[in-house]
Amino acid sequence: MTELQGKVAVVTGGSRGIGRAIALALGGAGARVAITCTQQYQAAEEVAAALKDMGGEGRVYQFDIADFEATSQAFDRIGSDFGGLDVLVSNAGVTRDQLLVRMKPAEWDIVLQTNLSGTFNCNRAAARTMLRQRSGRIINITSVAGLTGNPGQTNYAASKAGIVGFTKALAKELAPRNVTVNAVAPGFIDTDMTQVLPDAQRQAVLQQIPAARFGTPEDVAACVLFLSSEGAQYITGEVIRVSGGLAI
C-alpha cells in the first residue's frame, strides 16, 4: 500500500501502544514518520528501526509536548529534516486516575497540560506549516471517556472532551486552506495501560461492548490511516469512535 508515499507524518507518543501501531500503519502506507516521545526513547527507536526494516523511514524526536517552546522547536527540526509536514497524529497523553475528592491539583494539572495543552502545542506548530502548503491532515486522539465520562477520570475526561471542542473549532479555521482536522475516540483498547487493570474490571467493561471484544491498537490505526488519506479529503470536524459499540 502506497497511499501516503512520500508524505511526512508526525506521531506523538509513538513509542508504544496505539501510537506505535499508528506509526507503523502510516509507514506501511509509504509515509516518512517522525516519532515523538517524552521518556520512552529506546522504545521509540525500536519503532523507527521497525519502519526501516519495512523499507521506510522513521526518526525519533524526544521532547515534552506540554512545553510550548520545546514543541515549537521540535516541529521546526522535523520540518527541516523532512522538508515538510503532511500528517499530524496528536496521540500522546497521560492518565492520573483518582476520585475527584481525593485528586491533587498536580494530578489535574499534568493531565490537562499534557493531553489538552499538548494538543494545542502540536496542532499549532503543525498548522503553521500546513497553512503555507495549503494541504494537510490533523488527527487528534481523544477518547470515549471525553464523550461519556468515567468515574475516577474527571481530569482525563475533561482533557479529552476539550480535544473534541478544540478539533471542531480548528476544523472550521483550517478547512478553507485544504487542511482537515478530525478526532478519533478509542474505547477500551488492549494496551499496556489497560492490561494492568484487575480482571474483574476488564470483564465488567467487556460485558458493555456490543462487539464482545476489546479493541486493538491496529483497529485505531486503521481509522487514522483512512483519515490521513486522500479518500478522507472531504471529512473534517468529525469525531469517529473506535469502540466496538461501547459508546453508542
Does residue 173 carry a pLDDT above 70?
yes
Could you read off the pLDDT of 184-194 as tens digits, one per residue? 999 999 887 67
Could you read off the pLDDT of 135-145 as tens digits, one per residue? 999 999 999 99
The pLDDT > 90 percentage for the chain reads 90
Does residue 1 carry a pLDDT above 70?
no
Domains along the chain? 8-242 (3.40.50.720)
Mean confidence (pLDDT) of the chain: 95
Q: Closest Cα partner for 155 from 113, 184, 189? A: 113
**Predicted pLDDT at 204:** 85
Residue listed under C-alpha cell 525500536: 46
**Predicted pLDDT at 193:** 67
**Mean pLDDT within 196-211:** 84
241: burial class by Cβ within 10 Å (0-12, 13-18, 19+)?
buried
**Mean pLDDT within 144-168:** 96
- Residues designated as active site: 156
**Mean pLDDT within 23-41:** 97
Could you read off the pLDDT of 41-79 as tens digits, one per residue? 999 999 999 999 999 999 999 999 999 999 999 999 999
